[in-house]
Amino acid sequence: MNKIKLIATDIDGTIMNSDFKISQRVKDSINQAVANNIYVVLVTGRMFQATLHIAKFLDLKTPLVTYQGSFIKEFYNSDKILLNQSIPKDFSFEIIKELRKFDVQINYYFEDKLLVERETDIMREYATTRKIPYENIFNFENIIEKEPTKIVVMDNDVKKIDKIRNYLIKKYSNKVNVFKSTSRYCEIVNKSASKGNAILYLANEWGIKKSEIMVLGDQENDIDMLKVANIAIAMGNATDKVKNIATYVTDSVDNDGAAKAIEKFALGGLNV
């Protein structure tokens, strides 16, 4: 087996458990990987500002891949933006008008700020658990010239979210990428943006081969990044679609599955 040189991991449901905490064992495994000269990169749908404190908690120094791969930015000794892809404004407002018909929570992300035109219970829960500030602008038409990095649709009715996802893919798949990040969230980003493309971008910058990449994830939005890795790890709590394309299914996030996989495949079986 080739030595792992890059570990790319999702956050929520992968290294961050259902209580929105990262266990000491997961942190220790990541720190040990870094100590063994392995790049560890957080790859998430989260905003940059909602990811930064996690990277600092884990003592990471690598660029953060955020907004489903739309935005890559350094934070340690530099604030350089490496990649920034937005949704063209014509598409974004056409999509906004379509989404309003479904009576759902719509989140609009611009310049690492979260903008909304209404505040529902699911929105407040999302912002509180992830420690995300937001601004209610009451009408998205007020920012029609601002191209979003991402649009997120939220609703507690998972069947409605599935319906919206399928509708958006059918109508806009040639213009944007559409992913489910949880059963209740559907995310829309630039057509060229994805977690997999972002990982390949960094791997190319660092001279790392696919055979040297390990990826961990749990949701539909992680599938394309699992496909660019030699070792594709699905969490025990992952969806069936993710498990079906993984090379290995580890334990659940609440049972330190990420740490167990890192120890097994990147650290030579230590503490397994």
**Are the beta carbons of 70 and 85 closer than 8 angstroms?**
yes
pLDDT band (50, 70, 90) for residue 148: very high
17-54: per-residue pLDDT in tens?
Answer: 999 999 999 999 999 999 999 999 999 999 999 999 99
Q: Is 271 left (phi over 0), alpha (psi -120 to 50) or beta?
A: left
pLDDT given for residue 145 in this prediction:
86
- Name the pTM for this structure: 0.94
165: its two tokens: 């996802």
**Are the beta carbons of 63 and 74 closer than 8 angstroms?**
yes
Same domain, 186 and 137: yes
Q: Tell me the average pLDDT across 119-135.
A: 93
Same domain, 75 and 202: yes
Let me know if residue 270 belongs to a domain: no
Same domain, 100 and 54: no
Let me know if residue 1 belongs to a domain: no
Provide the residue range defining the domain that includes 186.
Answer: 89-190
69: its two tokens: 């791969």
**Are the beta carbons of 221 and 180 closer than 8 angstroms?**
yes
144: pLDDT strictly greater than 90: no
Same domain, 186 and 198: no
Same domain, 104 and 35: no
Let me know if residue 221 belongs to a domain: yes
What are φ and ψ of residue 251, in 5° steps? -70, 175
The count of domains in the chain is: 2
**Are the beta carbons of 116 and 135 closer than 8 angstroms?**
yes
Same domain, 125 and 247: no
150-174: per-residue pLDDT in tens?
Answer: 999 999 999 999 999 999 999 999 9
